[in-house]
Every structure is written in structure tokens, then in C-alpha cells.
């Protein structure tokens, strides 16, 4: 059990204030996100058919929650792990033009998640996806979109101070960009996680580009499935990858704090290349992959933004269980209670 107890921690809001503040943050942020990226809200599934390739496989080792459907001859269904691939199907069905997209509340169960201050069995995030043109599959377009999302984050932090003046803003006005390969060259003695801690502490907010591919030093900065983000396409700066993570410095936990994973999605070439790298060529025969390879899905950019994580950061909480109701080990509950951390 990995649990970090901040020294002399005291919640800045009581339980009632916390619940009110959660709604304030979620309502304000999603309106700003939708406006910045021209997104419309849609309803999303909680589960999808098993064996279609629609579910997110994350790093390929996490077990999805599955169940048989009695009225469909016990056909298997899976609780979604994210909606990375479902959203492209939804955009195809809706026929939205480039420059417009969708967002939704994604709720998932990840039973293999390691339970910590920031990881829960229950995942809630804003999943969003936007149609782009083939010409917009560039690093510049990715960075422009990151800045739009980060601006919504900064505005939300300022709103929180308006309602709760004792919670002071701490984010920088601008986000700084690094490629994972740059960080590996800058800090070869550090692990990828420690590199994130170093740059997040030094810059306050960073976007780390190129998550999922093998770097020249043989490392992978972090895992990423081969069939949604594009982490192999070369970019004009000499690196590879059109995806990344938004990472901010969390002063309460004294660590790097990822709030979003996002990227330009694979086209046909990137999909086949990445499946081959991961030795998963057989996936190309699945329903979803056949749609993409057949040119029936639009080119898109998209990602997920953690709802509980954002609220946890803005409200200066020490544990994600102060924001969402979940299941925790008894020892974790006891230690949290003894140190003023109220788990919902």
C-alpha cells in the first residue's frame, strides 16, 4: 500500500464545502473546455461488446471488468477502461466536420489499479475527441490544443479563489513543453517518474510529448496502447510522437501530478506500425481496427482529463478519496482518519 501523509495536513474545506466545490469546479471547467475546443456533450456507454477492439486496452495488461448478457445468449460485455476508441466511432456516426468534437463523462472501473493517494478503482474523467484534417496531424496543432486546455485549467483555479479566497492560485500562466527524449537526455541518471517530478517542480506545469514509444536509450517513458495515440510519427523537431501528458506540480503531495493524457490519434499507417512494434498485428482484424483501416473513421485528436484529480488539485486535497467515493484497504482508511484525511 502506497500512502503519502503530508506533514501537518489539514483540509481547507469541510465535507459539505468540498461537495459544493466539486460541483463548482466540474460545471465551470467543462463549460470552458467545450467552448475552447468547440465540443458538444454526448452520452457515452458504461460497457461495450467484448472482442470488438472498442475498449481501451491501456497498457495491455489491465483486466477489464466483464460480464455475460443473459438476453443475448451470454455474449460478453466489458466495462469501459476509457472511451479512446469509442469516441471516433461516435464522431463518424454524427458526421461532425473538422474543428468540432464531443465530450462526455467517462466512468470506469479498473480493478488492477494500484491504490494510492491518486489512484482509485473508480475512474472519472472528461473524455473528449475532435475531428481534424490530415494536414493538422502536426506537433504545432497538438501544442495549440494543449494550450487551450491548460488555459481552461488556469481559469478554473482562479474561479476557486473567487469562492474560497484562502485557496491561493499556484499554477503558472503558461505551460512548458518537453519531449520525453529531451528529459532522458537532460536527466539520464533519473527514472522517467523522477524526471517528471524534476520538471514539474521547476516549471509548475509541463506537457511531456512522446509517451509510449521506445526512446534512443531503450526506455519507454510510460505505457500507451498502440491503437489510439500516435507515438511513432516523426515531428519537425527531430523527435517522434504526437501525444503526451499534462503534468503539474502538486504542492500538497510534493510530486508531479498528471491530470490529462491526450494526443493526435493513429491514422492507418501509424496503427499498422504500432501494432507491429507491440507484436499485436492480430488486432488489425478486430471490428474497430477494420473500420479505421477501411477509412470509415475520421482523423481526430482527443484525450481524457481526470475529474477527481482536477478537483483534488484545485481544492488542495491529499487523497483522491476526499473527492470521490470508492473502496480502500482498511489500513489506508485508518491511517487517513488518524491524519485528518476524510475519505468519502
> Three-class SS of residue 263?
strand
56 is catalytic: yes
Which residues, including other chains, have CB under 8 Å from residue 193's CB and lie 6 or more apart?
256
Give the start-to-end residue ranges of the domains of the chain.
Answer: 18-48+83-114+129-304
Distance CA 30, CA 103 (A): 9
Q: Residue 262 to residues 116, 230, 288: CA-CA distances in angstroms?
A: 23, 10, 20
Going by C-alpha positions, the residue among 264, 243, 308 that lies closest to residue 106 is 308
Going by C-alpha positions, the residue among 314, 249, 316, 339 that lies closest to residue 5 is 339
261 is catalytic: yes
Q: Can you spell out the DSSP letters for 99-134?
A: T-EEEEEEEEE-TTPPPSSS--SEEEEEEEEEE--G
Under 8 Å between Cβ of 320 and 308: yes
Per the residue annotation, which of 56, 124, 196, 322 is the catalytic one? 56
Residue 79 confidence (pLDDT): 86
Going by C-alpha positions, the residue among 303, 342, 336 that lies closest to residue 116 is 336
How confident is the model over 20-47, as pLDDT tens digits? 999 999 999 999 999 999 999 999 988 8
Instruction: Kindly report whether the global pTM for this prediction surpasses the value 0.85.
Output: yes
Per the residue annotation, which of 245, 265, 299, 322 is the catalytic one? 245
Residue 60 confidence (pLDDT): 60
The 8-class DSSP code of residue 233 comes to S
Under 8 Å between Cβ of 55 and 78: yes
Four-point Cα dihedral 206, 212, 215, 221, nearest 10 = 50
- Tell me how far apart the 2 most distant CA atoms of the chain are, in Å: 58
Distance CA 181, CA 216 (A): 8
> What CATH number has the domain spanning 18-48+83-114+129-304?
3.30.930.10
Per the residue annotation, which of 62, 113, 251, 258 is the catalytic one? 258
Per the residue annotation, which of 81, 82, 120, 125 is the catalytic one? 125
Q: Which three cell numbers stand for residue 40?
A: 458538444
125 is catalytic: yes
pLDDT surpassing 70 at residue 130 = yes
pLDDT surpassing 70 at residue 328 = yes
Residue 198 confidence (pLDDT): 95
pLDDT surpassing 90 at residue 114 = no
Q: If pLDDT is split at 50, 70 and 90, which confidence band does 125 have?
A: very high
How confident is the model over 295-311, as pLDDT tens digits? 999 999 999 999 999 99
pLDDT surpassing 90 at residue 66 = no
Rg of the chain taking only CA atoms, in angstroms: 20
Distance CA 90, CA 101 (A): 10
pLDDT surpassing 80 at residue 261 = yes
Residue 173 confidence (pLDDT): 95
Distance CA 173, CA 193 (A): 24
Distance CA 274, CA 226 (A): 5
Burial class (CB in 10 A: 0-12, 13-18, 19+), 331: exposed
Per the residue annotation, which of 110, 137, 195, 309 is the catalytic one? 110
334 is catalytic: no
245 is catalytic: yes
Amino acid at each position: 500500500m502506497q500512502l503519502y501523509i503530508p506533514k501537518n495536513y489539514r483540509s481547507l474545506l469541510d465535507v459539505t464545502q468540498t461537495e459544493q466545490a466539486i460541483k463548482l469546479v466540474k460545471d465551470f471547467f467543462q463549460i470552458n473546455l467545450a467552448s475552447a475546443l468547440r465540443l458538444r456533450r454526448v452520452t457515452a456507454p458504461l460497457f461495450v461488446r467484448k472482442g470488438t477492439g472498442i475498449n481501451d486496452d491501456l497498457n495491455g495488461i489491465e483486466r477489464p471488468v466483464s460480464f455475460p448478457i443473459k438476453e443475448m445468449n451470454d455474449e460478453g460485455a466489458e466495462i469501459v477502461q476509457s472511451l479512446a476508441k469509442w469516441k471516433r466511432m461516435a464522431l463518424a456516426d454524427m458526421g461532425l466536420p473538422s474543428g468540432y468534437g464531443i465530450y462526455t463523462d467517462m466512468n470506469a472501473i479498473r480493478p488492477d489499479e494500484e491504490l494510492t493517494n491518486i489512484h482509485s478503482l473508480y475512474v472519472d474523467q472528461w473524455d473528449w475527441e475532435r475531428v481534424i484534417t490530415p494536414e493538422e496531424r502536426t506537433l504545432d496543432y497538438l501544442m495549440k490544443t494543449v494550450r487551450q486546455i491548460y488555459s481552461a485549467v488556469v481559469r478554473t483555479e482562479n474561479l476557486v479563489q473567487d469562492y474560497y479566497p484562502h485557496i491561493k492560485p499556484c499554477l503558472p500562466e503558461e505551460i512548458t513543453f518537453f519531449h520525453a527524449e529531451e528529459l532522458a537526455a537532460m536527466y539520464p541518471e533519473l527514472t522517467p517518474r523522477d524526471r517528471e517530478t524534476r520538471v514539474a517542480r521547476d516549471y509548475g506545469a509541463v506537457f511531456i510529448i512522446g509517451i509510449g514509444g521506445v526512446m534512443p536509450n531503450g526506455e519507454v517513458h510510460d505505457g500507451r496502447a498502440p491503437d489510439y495515440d500516435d507515438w511513432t510519427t516523426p515531428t519537425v523537431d527531430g523527435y517522434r510522437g504526437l501525444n503526451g501528458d499534462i503534468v503539474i506540480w502538486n504542492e500538497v503531495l510534493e510530486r508531479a501530478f498528471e491530470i490529462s493524457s491526450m494526443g493526435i490519434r493513429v491514422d492507418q499507417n501509424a496503427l499498422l506500425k504500432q501494432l507491429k512494434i507491440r507484436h499485436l498485428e492480430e488486432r488489425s482484424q478486430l471490428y474497430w481496427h477494420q473500420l479505421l483501416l477501411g477509412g470509415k473513421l475520421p482523423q481526430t485528436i482527443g484525450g481524457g482529463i481526470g475529474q477527481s484529480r482536477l478537483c483534488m488539485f484545485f481544492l488542495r486535497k491529499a487523497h483522491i478519496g476526499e473527492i470521490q467515493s470508492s473502496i480502500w484497504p482498511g489500513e489506508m482508511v485508518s491511517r487517513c482518519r488518524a491524519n485528518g484525511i476524510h475519505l468519502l
